[in-house]
Amino acid sequence: MKSIIDNQSLEKTGIERLQWFRDMMPLVDSINDYLDNEQIFKGKIIAICMHIEPKTAVWIEGILRGGAKHIYLVGCLGTTKEDTAAYLASLDRMTVLGKKNDTYEDHQNYLTQVMDHKIDLFLDNGASLILAHDRLKPDWTPIGANEETRSGKLLIEKEKVSPDYPVVVIDDSPVKQLLENAIGVGQSVVDGFMRATSLLLGGKQVLVIGYGFCGSGVAKKFKGQGANVMVYDLNPTIRLKAKADGYYVDDLPEVIKKADVIITVTGSFDVIRPDHIKYFKPNVILANSGHYSFEIDVKGLKEKASVTRVKKDIEKLTFTDKSCYLIADASPVNLACGDGNPIEIMDLGLGLQSASAIRILETDNQLKKGLQAVPVDIDKKISIDMMAILK
Ligand SMILES: NC(=O)c1ccc[n+]([C@@H]2O[C@H](COP(=O)([O-])OP(=O)(O)OC[C@H]3O[C@@H](n4cnc5c(N)ncnc54)[C@H](O)[C@@H]3O)[C@@H](O)[C@H]2O)c1
């Protein structure tokens, strides 16, 4: 099956850019050596849905070295780096399905094509593969799956899908929650926002919607840059926590009215919708850092606006009496406008992915079926190994 990517001539740029990431990912590097020595993935056909970017590429190199017979890689929406896709597509035993501006329909089409092949292992993000398997019901079942993120777990539960195979939820690992979500995402969201806008953050009224692991980190990092941060969360206890942490908290319409910048990070859809336009300050900037762009009802907002591009990654939506700005079509701002989470953080996160995949294959389906957290011993081992690396 041929790759579908933007531009194969970017392969050399993709290769050149990768060395820095390889050098800065010692945990994945050591696991990649282990995969190679033990040939953990020998003969296995693996479907991966992940952000196509350099850190993912370093991790995928290990899966290939570990003997995978073939990898089908589907990109996540709005976050594909064209040069990384070109590099990966140039490798043997790889099919890459991901373009920078893929639509939801393109994404679904790729997933349908992947399901035509008998897959041994899913390494999923946002439950794309798991939901496609449930929807299309091919006559095979994978040995198991990893699901990377909160949104994926929420979708599996919302759609009442009961996978007939083990699904290790990487996001249920304290390592991921406490390091990637609470620390890494905040730093990279501020970075992505600044790269997209080049604006001063000091003095801006920034509204963070969703104050979970990611949102609390996003709020903290914006506050650290001098922004006046406001928080809204559906959960009243979490709102209270945000208030006790020192943020301005009020009902959603009240905080929207005050906001210069609104960032969604909830795992829910349509958190900002056309019926909120009446509360918008003129020229409010909208961005998302949740997994799916649907946290902002972009289609609904655009139907009510004339749309002009004012900068790479920024569109101006002009309504009858005011305008707003939308960053990267609400794709996760840290990945769409920057390089995603800090390298050390993804060294950990992708290390968890590999260790969980090894467990699924080594135990040969002895894990229980359905959703489950990363085994506790894996969390401990990854934390100890990372601590040794950071010393
Ligand atoms: N951009 C990235 O790099 C990145 C990395 C990790 C996770 N994520 C994504 O970020 C999102 C949040 O993840 P998390 O780990 O913080 O989850 P979480 O469950 O810890 O927190 C989500 C919070 O949002 C609140 N919430 C849900 N729906 C809401 C709504 N409609 N309005 C207001 N608040 C609402 C919940 O009450 C909860 O407190 C998910 O989509 C996850 O997949 C993104």
Which domains does the chain carry? 8-176+341-390 (3.40.50.1480), 183-336 (3.40.50.720)
187 lines ligand 1 (CB under 6 A): no
Q: 3-class SS at 7?
A: coil
Residue 329: CB atoms within 10 A of its CB come to: 16
Closest residue by CA, ligand 1 atom 18: 212
Written as tens digits, the pLDDT of the chain (391 aa) is 899 999 999 999 999 999 999 999 999 999 999 999 999 999 999 999 999 999 999 999 999 999 999 999 999 999 999 999 999 999 999 999 999 999 999 999 999 999 999 999 999 999 999 999 999 999 999 999 999 999 999 999 999 999 999 999 999 999 999 999 999 999 999 999 999 999 999 999 999 999 999 999 999 999 999 999 999 999 999 999 999 999 999 999 999 999 999 999 999 999 999 999 999 999 999 999 999 999 999 999 999 999 999 999 999 999 999 999 999 999 999 999 999 999 999 999 999 999 999 999 987 667 999 999 999 999 999 999 888 887 7
What is the b/e burial string over 271-283, where b = at least 16 CB atoms within 10 angstroms of the residue's CB? bbebebbebbbee
What is the DSSP code (8-state) at residue 336? Answer: H
E strands, the chain, are 45-50, 70-75, 94-97, 121-124, 144-147, 166-169, 205-209, 228-232, 248-249, 261-264, 284-288, 306-311, 314-318, 323-327, 370-373
Q: How far is the CA of 326 from the centre of ligand 1 (A)?
A: 19
Alpha-carbon Rg of the chain, whole angstroms? 21
Check if the beta carbon of residue 102 is closer than 8 Å to that of residue 85: no
Going by their DSSP bridges, the two strands 314-318 and 306-311 should be labelled as antiparallel
Residue whose structure tokens are 């794309």: 128
- Give the span between the Cα atoms of 31 and 45, in whole angstroms: 19
Q: How far is the CA of 356 from the centre of ligand 1 (A)?
A: 23
Give the residue, out of 124, 265, 270, 348, with the most ligand 1 atoms within 8 A of its beta carbon, to mutate for a pocket test.
265
Q: 3-class SS at 17?
A: helix
pTM of the model: 0.95
Q: How far is the CA of 216 from the centre of ligand 1 (A)?
A: 10
Closest residue by CA, ligand 1 atom 20: 212
Q: How far is the CA of 38 from the centre of ligand 1 (A)?
A: 37
- Give the span between the Cα atoms of 107 and 124, in whole angstroms: 13
Check if the beta carbon of residue 352 is closer than 8 Å to that of residue 378: yes
233 lines ligand 1 (CB under 6 A): yes
* Residue 391 CB-density burial (10 A; 0-12 exposed, 13-18 middle, 19+ buried): exposed
